[in-house]
């Protein structure tokens, strides 16, 4: 919209652009014509939008792992990773996505805070396995301050593992679930442990982990994790076989049914 600054008109009026020139001269130019998107550019834009939507859903559902303690580039890094995955799974001829069990395996190793990578505090590789409808993340036995590092003065660690669920075809998700393993430096060794969750058929399951450190003394806990130090990341992602069936829901007040699955705006692929 054009504006009058007391001396001359500046801005866009109709298809004309008014600009200030030297010596008080007004320069009039034709406004830019809106360009037409090619099919390729439309496809690229649509894939980016889907990747952005999925990444936002993952960040929201797994936010208990990082809260506000993530690095400034994390949002863009996760979107980029998901965009590359979706591009790989998109068939330009059929204009359809085709996924298999390992399509999202590249999410494994993604760090929520590049300043304090999970891999620098946890010197073992968690193993993700699917058996029927049971998805497990397995940690081998670990030596304190060898495979599981503790910051100076910290004597307590909560290993939190969280799992998020999505059906990409219908564009829905349900509430994440999580489990916690408590470890302290009085233990010379952390026994091998499995975090096991029940998963539905035909779903993308994204699993992440956080190491929450603190100093515990006289029943008073001082949290170590902060914006600069928060070891948390994704341990893996898998698409379960079978056909997804959206459950009808559970009884809620007033007798209405509410499905545990909720729509994610613009996620449907």
Chain segment 191-225, per-residue pLDDT in tens? 999 999 999 999 999 999 999 999 999 889 999 99
**pLDDT tens digit sequence for 33-87:** 566 678 888 999 999 999 999 999 999 999 999 999 999 999 999 999 999 999 9
Q: Residue 37's pLDDT is what? A: 75
Give the contacts of 194 (CB within 8 A, at least 6 positions apart): 136, 137, 138, 139
Q: How confident is the model at residue 1 (pLDDT cuts 50, 70, 90)?
A: low
Instruction: Say which range, 11-25, 110-124, 207-221, has the weakest mean pLDDT.
Output: 11-25
pLDDT exceeds 80 at position 16: no
More confident: 1 or 201: 201
Give the contacts of 124 (CB within 8 A, at least 6 positions apart): 139, 140, 142, 147, 148
59: left (phi over 0), alpha (psi -120 to 50) or beta: alpha
Tell me if 94 sits within 8 A of 56, measured CB to CB.
no
pLDDT exceeds 80 at position 12: no
Q: What is the largest CA-CA distance in the chain?
A: 80
Q: How confident is the model at residue 247 (pLDDT cuts 50, 70, 90)?
A: confident
pLDDT exceeds 80 at position 9: no
Burial readout 50-78 (b: 16 or more C-beta within 10 A, e: otherwise): bbbbbbbbbbebbeebbeebbbeebeebb
Q: Residue 168's pLDDT is what? A: 97
pTM listed for this prediction? 0.84
Cβ neighbours, 10 Å, residue 100? 11
Q: Rg (Cα) of the chain, in Å, rounded?
A: 25
Q: Residue 26's pLDDT is what? A: 73
Tell me if 56 sits within 8 A of 9, measured CB to CB.
no
Token look-up 């204009």 returns: 95
Query: How distant, in Å, are the alpha carbons of 45, 47, 53, 93, 206 from that of 39?
Result: 10, 12, 21, 12, 31
Closest CA to 261 of 192, 164, 191: 164
Closest CA to 109 of 119, 121, 122: 119
**pLDDT tens digit sequence for 164-181:** 999 999 999 999 999 999
pLDDT exceeds 90 at position 261: yes
What average pLDDT does the structure give for the chain? 92
Tell me if 265 sits within 8 A of 52, measured CB to CB.
no
Q: Residue 126's pLDDT is what? A: 96
């Amino acid at each position: 919209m054009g504006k009058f600054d007391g001396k001359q008109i500046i801005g866009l009026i109709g298809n004309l652009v008014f600009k200030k020139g030297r010596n008080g001269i007004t320069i009039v130019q034709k406004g830019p014509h809106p360009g037409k998107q090619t099919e390729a550019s439309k496809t690229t834009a649509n894939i980016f939008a889907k990747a952005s939507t999925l990444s936002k859903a993952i960040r929201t559902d797994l936010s208990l792992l990082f809260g506000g303690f993530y690095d400034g580039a994390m949002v863009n890094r996760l979107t980029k990773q998901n965009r590359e995955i979706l591009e790989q799974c998109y068939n330009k001829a059929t204009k359809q996505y085709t996924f298999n069990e390992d399509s999202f395996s590249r999410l494994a190793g993604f760090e929520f805070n590049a300043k304090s990578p999970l891999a620098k505090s946890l010197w073992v590789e968690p193993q993700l396995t699917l058996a029927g409808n049971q998805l497990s993340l397995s940690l081998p036995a670990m030596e304190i301050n060898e495979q599981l590092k503790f910051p100076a003065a910290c004597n307590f660690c909560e290993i939190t593992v969280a799992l998020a669920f999505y059906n990409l075809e219908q564009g829905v998700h349900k509430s994440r679930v999580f489990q916690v393993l408590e470890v302290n430096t009085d233990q010379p060794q952390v026994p091998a442990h499995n975090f096991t969750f029940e998963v539905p058929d035909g779903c993308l399951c994204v699993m992440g982990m956080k190491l929450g450190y603190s100093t515990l003394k006289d029943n008073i806990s001082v949290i170590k994790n902060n914006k600069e130090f928060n070891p948390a990341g994704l341990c893996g992602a898998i698409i379960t076989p079978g056909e997804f069936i959206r459950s009808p829901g559970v009884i809620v007040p007033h007798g209405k049914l509410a499905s545990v699955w909720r729509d994610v705006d613009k996620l449907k692929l």
